[in-house]
Structure 1
């Protein structure tokens, strides 16, 4: 006996026992959900063994740097009775008070503000506005406008943070600073906003949590609405929904138990599993109703549904998992987490579909018999009415004119082929937060008013960085970079060479003089405790107006750093770029590599699985061609729509490949089944019987993905839009290509040849 049919018979016979096991796992999963954690740390997105991570760790450990928050203090209105100028003594006093509160925090290592200038020049805060203006006017313009905007409506407090790279610590730091801001009474008209790395990362973390809940709820609503339409009854709509609820709950619960975090990629798993998981339940339910309509008993119909649909489901699940498994080949931990979560979720969804659905569907039929006194043969909307007629007509048209459909597909492919040339990438952290949010608006104000406050570090390693030749090299390198500020966006810089030059007016050749000048700097900000490392800090607008600007600036620093190491420093001295902004650049390079690698291997895995399962070249071509087209059209759509590849979208092609092959597989499997049974028009039967199920599955899957548009994070929007388009592209490609190819390959042998 067929192993799959034997398994189907066992599942139907012992359906209650299987259902009880599933309920037990559901209870365990509810406990696991409570252990889920959110993650927004940039370092977790990069490979642990990457050189940039080692440099970044040194930056954190030795210099207590690399993390910062910017507090923007600005005159936001001109209401009577308030202040109109940031140089008002009441504003400066409030800034000073806030700065003192911040310095009492154990994680704050340094602060810089306009109040520091007055304390250094006057030894106190200004008593009136004239005095405040006089002191600022004494400063050189570059120094003055690094603290206040040119219209004197904005100033900033730069806060350097040292903290553990944990989500819990980030939340504690952000909220602690917010409490300090709220505890200081700023004058009327003044608004205070926390932004920078800490502020933006916290906002992303907050949005991740709200987006997870919001998108899951909306996804469920969309899926329920579609099920109600197709099944005409709330009770029957619940049949494929119940296994889905089991699958989604188990997925999130096991993620919590396995320690898989919710990040920019895995936050989408809930809505994605609702969309993808319902597909399996729909196919089993539709086949059951089809068998019942043919007159089979409830147990025989359930057995037939599990056995016959199980073949396609097994192939679909394996190919989808194969596509997702390619993400394990990525070096990005985020994609490993996403792959694990999706494979786990799909496996549970498929398992619940074939195990829970028979128990639920037979229970529903038994209850209806008791209520009405007889069994009611169900009528599904997707197999009747307008939908049923449309698919019958489609099948007949393809049977007669397959070449016409293939020609149409060729023209569509040319259109999206051009879009592929327009695709870009985006990894800058600030771009993951919606425009119009206070933190982003404040960051934009900083860039326009202060020339930018992005920080980039050059880490220098040597036996002793106090060597006069090294200090002179730093001085020359630093000034060369600042001389190119028109090109690289540098606004300011700081190094041990500046400390020495301020003390002597030049860089001495006497090492003892340098040691004396740097004595107070040991282990603080610029020099490590053993003098084996030092930092050159650059501040400016490095994010750029576009990714091309960002890459250009980072390439400049890479080239200039490499040049300086070769020409400005003694042998044995090593220079390397580091900091959050540079990690974004590294991530950008890795993302490009990962897109190609994951897409190639994902496609290869899926093709290999199809060939191993079916072992017929023509059948395999009919199945996998829609997969290729769906992926190609999706990338083209991204180019036309201006959707960039991000680190969370790096695996999207592999995902679409894994999902897209399912539709061609269901159509091909039904075609082979009908052809083997001697049906003279197998292409028409397969399209009109399987087509509605594919439509229902695609609509619910895409609905789950489109629910991601309700999230606030732009990267979540892009993820949902791209995957939803990929599903529809794969579905249409399957409708147009798979039946046409099958008709071309086998039509003459089935009595349904082309006319």
Structure 2
């Protein structure tokens, strides 16, 4: 006890006696971290979560080795054309003209192009290998000749994948088509929703220019690709900040004005908040942690804790200042007494909050681990700035005020005796006095009921979590021009592609097979795995509907009599699948016109293959993933279930596991920490349990509310339970720490003779001391907590205005966690303290009788 008091006395000496030196040191550090903040890079999308997972590694291998014609490749742009009939002569010419104009622009670095129009032109004239020749071939052809060419091209699988699902070969018509433009990019960039959103994406500039070029063609052709996605992701983040930051700043300022009621104190509090964010961003820049969409949550969290610390410092200082009057000499004494209690409370709060956030490092997902590290470091910075810098700045400012004769405004503490807020807060003490047991019973029932209800909460992970909504909300469209967001097209385009084009990834999963595929049993193993498919797979006569190298062999056998006879000679059991001399079968197939199609399912070295299974549209992502893994286990080779559905479901499972694991680790670590700290500080380890009870209640209420509101665990909300515990401890720890100070101070100030005189009334007076200490705690600290709660709920809750829905969900659940923590700290904590006091007196009485 003496040791920690010596540390606090040393800090008090710096805060009060060397306040200017403290200010200088912190300003220099802020400048240094400010330089580091300029080095922070950004990263967005799903790829940051899926790295290093088995399903994603298999998915990458499939993309790398078996890229179908319509699949998005590195450095590619998609030209999406729509119309009454994109296979009519004018529309075919428009697509080729768009490709040609892009190819003519050297800065667009076009390497190759693919389109249904080009295939039709080559069907008309096999020698038309250039875009100019293809345009001439179409221009010379009559509409009838083009219709015949379309029907002939319809036998080409590549041609069909480039057309919408409503393609009618007989009528030679389709409502949409996609052309692919490949660019010569120095480095590969995933062309998918959720690609990296760093400002260094060369495709962003290329596709921006391509839009203007294609816009000169007389047809409805849209440019789409990772560059477009990157630009819109950046725009969504920027537009969200433009909307949310001013609104949050106004709300926070309004509540800070209510809490501080003094322009100088308001300025010091805001400056401290800014320093906290700058230090944290500077740390990220120095250690090289990119700013991800998950880390968007960190600044609001730091503001929440910083606002709480700041209001406590100013409010407690004002309480002590009233006793010393307005003299300059009273400034130092008041701040010493305030920091004597607050530095201990801040240490307890910071320790538990850091444990709550740092528990996320147990996650298997790197973004969540980085979130835990950054948030924990940011909270430590918050302790230093609001525990040392703000008190020193307040001392320096008030001393300067006293010398200059500048009056203070609103220097009364929140919740002071006799005020409306003070009287309102006393209701919790009165409730604990009347029936603490009833309060605890109600809290227990709510905790159990909410916790049980929360077991059914959903878990989700998808590209859509990171994209803007398909339709911009009406309330955003009504904003004035500087704040009005742009019209977003990415989500609408993705939905259009999903609805109109049947690609290999739509309602399908892939099994990636590795092994010596020239062994005689290889293709029979494929057939065996397809028998008796699971419930979520599409079945045809008790066989899974699948596309693989077996499918290509059978289809080419129908076209080539010689190849069909080769297969039959090597089909020992007569099931249509060769099971002998597969090397020769593969050689013949890969040297035939079907080579391109075959290489979509088997590698050139015959060491890996993919099997694509159709799945039922109504099946859940979880069921499809479970069944795909079961089928993969049937293969006689190393087989891994993959595909977007499997990858995202595996990440969703990891997110849920991370949430549960982080909460468990945080609860255990926090309980141990609090028990040790209160044993050292107050000689009462039981106060650690007192501190933790209201937090368990608030976490259970939050989880139950999430399910009630239909908010799932996703990339952002996965951390919310650990956040609720970290922020919730903030509120309850302040109440418990203030109570211990008030309770112990009353005993220390009593004269020994007075205590001996009261021994016969010890039980009654002990109860009086508890309620007196609770009354002063709830009135003083409760007032600061009220100001902090209103400010932080407004600041974080305003995220519901963000354009990306996932940010709005995070803002809502964070605001709810703060509100529940406030309620339980002021309603449940007094009842737990009264129960502790009752049990302590009973135990003491039993010991005395013994």
- Alignment TM-score, normalising by the size of structure 1: 0.86
> Shift in Å at residue 256 of structure 1?
1.1
The 3-state SS of whatever aligns with 1:157 is: strand
> Shift in Å at residue 353 of structure 1?
0.4
Alignment of 1:58-97 (within 5 A): 58-59=61-62, 62=65, 67-68=72-73, 71=78, 73-75=80-82, 84-97=84-97
Aligned match of 1:502: 556
> Shift in Å at residue 702 of structure 1?
2.3
Are the counterparts in 1 of residues 91 and 219 from structure 2 also a CA contact under 8 Å?
no
Are the counterparts in 2 of residues 261 and 337 from structure 1 also a CA contact under 8 Å?
no
> Shift in Å at residue 194 of structure 1?
1.9
Alignment of 1:74-223 (within 5 A): 74-75=81-82, 84-99=84-99, 113-123=115-125, 124=134, 126=138, 127=141, 131-136=145-150, 139=154, 147-150=163-166, 152-157=174-179, 163-164=188-189, 167-168=197-198, 171-185=201-215, 190-194=220-224, 200=229, 203-208=232-237, 210-211=239-240, 215-223=244-252
Alignment of 1:287-298 (within 5 A): 287-295=316-324, 297-298=330-331
Change (3 A) 1:373 1:269: closer
2:302 equivalent to 1:273:
yes
Q: Give 1:425's match in structure 2, choosing from 440, 454, 459.
A: 459
Tell me how far apart the structure 2 counterparts of residues 749 and 462 of structure 1 sit (CA, whole Å). 69
Aligned match of 1:556: 627
Tell me how far apart the structure 2 counterparts of residues 534 and 170 of structure 1 sit (CA, whole Å). 34
Tell me how far apart the structure 2 counterparts of residues 634 and 379 of structure 1 sit (CA, whole Å). 34
> Shift in Å at residue 404 of structure 1?
4.1
Change (3 A) 1:446 1:748: closer
After the TM superposition, which of the residue ranges 32-41 and 164-173 deviates more from structure 2? Answer: 164-173
Tell me how far apart the structure 2 counterparts of residues 591 and 194 of structure 1 sit (CA, whole Å). 30
**What RMSD in Å do the two structures reach over aligned CA positions?**
3.8
> Shift in Å at residue 339 of structure 1?
0.8
Q: Rg: which structure is higher?
A: 2
Aligned match of 2:395: 362
- Unpaired runs of 5+ residues, structure 2, are 126-133, 168-173, 191-195, 471-487, 571-580, 747-767, 842-850
Q: Give 2:512's match in structure 1, choosing from 441, 448, 459.
A: 459
What is the CA deviation profile of residues 705-726 of structure 1, one whole-angstrom value per residue up to 9, with x for unaligned ones? 2232232222211211111111
2:640 equivalent to 1:592:
no
2:316 equivalent to 1:313:
no
Tell me how far apart the structure 1 counterparts of residues 728 and 466 of structure 2 sit (CA, whole Å). 28
2:522 equivalent to 1:470:
yes
Are the counterparts in 2 of residues 38 and 209 from structure 1 also a CA contact under 8 Å?
no
Alignment of 1:569-718 (within 5 A): 573-615=637-679, 616-678=684-746, 680=769, 681-718=772-809
Change (3 A) 1:109 1:74: closer
Aligned match of 2:763: none
> Shift in Å at residue 656 of structure 1?
1.1
> Shift in Å at residue 528 of structure 1?
4.4
Change (3 A) 1:311 1:529: same
How many residues align? The count is 728
Change (3 A) 1:401 1:423: same
Q: Give 1:33's match in structure 2, choosing from 37, 50, 53.
A: 37
Are the counterparts in 1 of residues 505 and 644 from structure 2 also a CA contact under 8 Å?
no
- Unpaired runs of 5+ residues, structure 1, are 76-82, 567-572, 751-755
Q: Give 2:333's match in structure 1, choosing from 300, 304, 307.
A: 300
Aligned match of 1:263: 292
Are the counterparts in 1 of residues 349 and 730 from structure 2 also a CA contact under 8 Å?
yes
Q: Give 1:350's match in structure 2, choosing from 366, 377, 383.
A: 383
> Shift in Å at residue 366 of structure 1?
2.9
Tell me how far apart the structure 2 counterparts of residues 149 and 293 of structure 1 sit (CA, whole Å). 78
Change (3 A) 1:482 1:495: farther
> Shift in Å at residue 535 of structure 1?
3.6
After the TM superposition, which of the residue ranges 374-383 and 232-241 deviates more from structure 2? Answer: 374-383
The 3-state SS of whatever aligns with 2:469 is: coil
After the TM superposition, which of the residue ranges 477-486 and 128-137 deviates more from structure 2? Answer: 477-486
Tell me how far apart the structure 2 counterparts of residues 380 and 220 of structure 1 sit (CA, whole Å). 23
What is the CA deviation profile of residues 442-461 of structure 1, one whole-angstrom value per residue up to 9, with x for unaligned ones? 22223333346636543322
> Shift in Å at residue 345 of structure 1?
0.8
2:824 equivalent to 1:733:
yes
> Shift in Å at residue 350 of structure 1?
1.0
Change (3 A) 1:469 1:213: farther
What is the CA deviation profile of residues 649-697 of structure 1, one whole-angstrom value per residue up to 9, with x for unaligned ones? 2222112112212211111111121222228311111111110111122
What is the CA deviation profile of residues 345-378 of structure 1, one whole-angstrom value per residue up to 9, with x for unaligned ones? 1110111001111222123223433443677781
Change (3 A) 1:295 1:71: same
Are the counterparts in 2 of residues 457 and 536 from structure 1 also a CA contact under 8 Å?
yes
Tell me how far apart the structure 1 counterparts of residues 466 and 285 of structure 2 sit (CA, whole Å). 25
Change (3 A) 1:484 1:692: closer
Are the counterparts in 2 of residues 212 and 270 from structure 1 also a CA contact under 8 Å?
no
Tell me how far apart the structure 2 counterparts of residues 258 and 373 of structure 1 sit (CA, whole Å). 44
> Shift in Å at residue 381 of structure 1?
4.8
Change (3 A) 1:241 1:399: farther
Aligned match of 1:753: none
After the TM superposition, which of the residue ranges 400-409 and 133-142 deviates more from structure 2? Answer: 133-142
What is the CA deviation profile of residues 249-278 of structure 1, one whole-angstrom value per residue up to 9, with x for unaligned ones? 110111111111111211222222222222
Aligned match of 1:252: 281
Aligned match of 2:131: none
Tell me how far apart the structure 1 counterparts of residues 409 and 217 of structure 2 sit (CA, whole Å). 74
Are the counterparts in 2 of residues 72 and 442 from structure 1 also a CA contact under 8 Å?
no
Change (3 A) 1:482 1:558: closer
Are the counterparts in 2 of residues 702 and 725 from structure 1 also a CA contact under 8 Å?
yes
Aligned match of 2:473: none
Q: Give 2:609's match in structure 1, choosing from 531, 534, 549.
A: 534
- Alignment TM-score, normalising by the size of structure 2: 0.77
> Shift in Å at residue 204 of structure 1?
3.6
Tell me how far apart the structure 2 counterparts of residues 119 and 732 of structure 1 sit (CA, whole Å). 72
Are the counterparts in 2 of residues 451 and 491 from structure 1 also a CA contact under 8 Å?
no
Q: Give 1:228's match in structure 2, choosing from 257, 265, 272.
A: 257
Tell me how far apart the structure 1 counterparts of residues 102 and 608 of structure 2 sit (CA, whole Å). 28
> Shift in Å at residue 119 of structure 1?
3.2
